[in-house]
Amino acid sequence: MEIKICGLTSTKEAEYLNENNVDFAGMVMFFPKSKRNIDENKATEIINTLDKNINKVAVTVSPTLEQVKIIEKLGFDYIQIHGKLENSIIENTDIPILKAFNVKDIDEYDNFKNINKIKGFVFDAQEPGSGKTFDWNTLKTFPKSDKLMILAGGLNPENVANAIKVLNPDCVDVSSGVENENGIGKSKEKINMFVTNARKVSR
């Protein structure tokens, strides 16, 4: 079971991820509406702090090609795309794409299922980064494919084991569920607990 911790805003949080040897680290880019949005300088600091073996993911909403090119230059390994994913982006991206679905747009899956540059699908709740779950039953009969199935949306240290038992995804993805009680920054204890609980059940 792979683990993705999203919405990093500091190098201190990057160190928590190194200590847990997680698989993916997400940073929200070019989406100022999010409290987790970071600029290019901060992204560079965080990328330089993360261990080499942790995949760096730029988390975006309907990015422009210009933004995608900046993301590539910064050294991200993947780009996660919520909202619109234009053909021009697919054709001109040099890094693999994780296409995110936010419940209502899941019926667009067929348009993307055979695109080689898309290496995985993130199944998320209606509002990205809201910490809310969605009805996992909608995914129970979803066809398995060779692309990564990443389950996101309201996961936390308490429900992650059950989510893995119910859906057996390739990767579990969390942001809000490992934040401090005041909603600012990530909690080292919650990250540790999330990783322990996810790994315990998937062994």
Ligand X SMILES: O=C(O)c1ccccc1N[C@@H]1O[C@H](COP(=O)(O)O)[C@@H](O)[C@H]1O
Taking CB under 6 A as the criterion, the residue among 3, 63, 173, 194 binding ligand X is 173
Does residue 159 touch ligand X according to CB under 6 A?
A: no
- Distance, in Å, from the CA atom of 134 to the CA atom of 127, rounded to the nearest integer, reads 10
Quick one: which segment of 30-38, 86-94, 112-120, 187-195 binds ligand X (CB under 6 A)?
30-38
Of residues 57, 65, 22, the one with CA closest to residue 38: 57
Does residue 169 touch ligand X according to CB under 6 A?
A: no
In sequence order, what DSSP letters do the residues of 56-108 get, joined into one string?
EEEEEES--HHHHHHHHHHT-SEEEEES---HHHHHH--S-EEEEEESGGGGG
Max CA distance (Å), the chain: 42
| Sign of the four-CA dihedral 129, 135, 140, 141 | negative
Taking CB under 6 A as the criterion, the residue among 26, 120, 157, 169 binding ligand X is 26
Could you tell me the smallest distance in angstroms from the CB atom of residue 158 to ligand X? 13
Does residue 59 touch ligand X according to CB under 6 A?
A: yes
- Distance, in Å, from the CA atom of 19 to the CA atom of 188, rounded to the nearest integer, reads 10
Site string for ligand X, 120-139 (x = CB under 6 A): --x-xx--xxxx--------
Residue 182 burial (CB count, 10 A) = 6
Could you tell me the smallest distance in angstroms from the CB atom of residue 60 to ligand X? 7
Alpha-carbon Rg for the chain, nearest whole angstrom, is: 16
Does residue 118 touch ligand X according to CB under 6 A?
A: no
Quick one: which segment of 13-21, 38-46, 137-145, 174-182 binds ligand X (CB under 6 A)?
174-182
Taking CB under 6 A as the criterion, the residue among 36, 147, 186, 190 binding ligand X is 36
Residues that bind ligand X (CB under 6 A): 6-7, 26, 28, 31, 34, 36, 59, 61, 82, 122, 124-125, 128-131, 152-155, 173-177
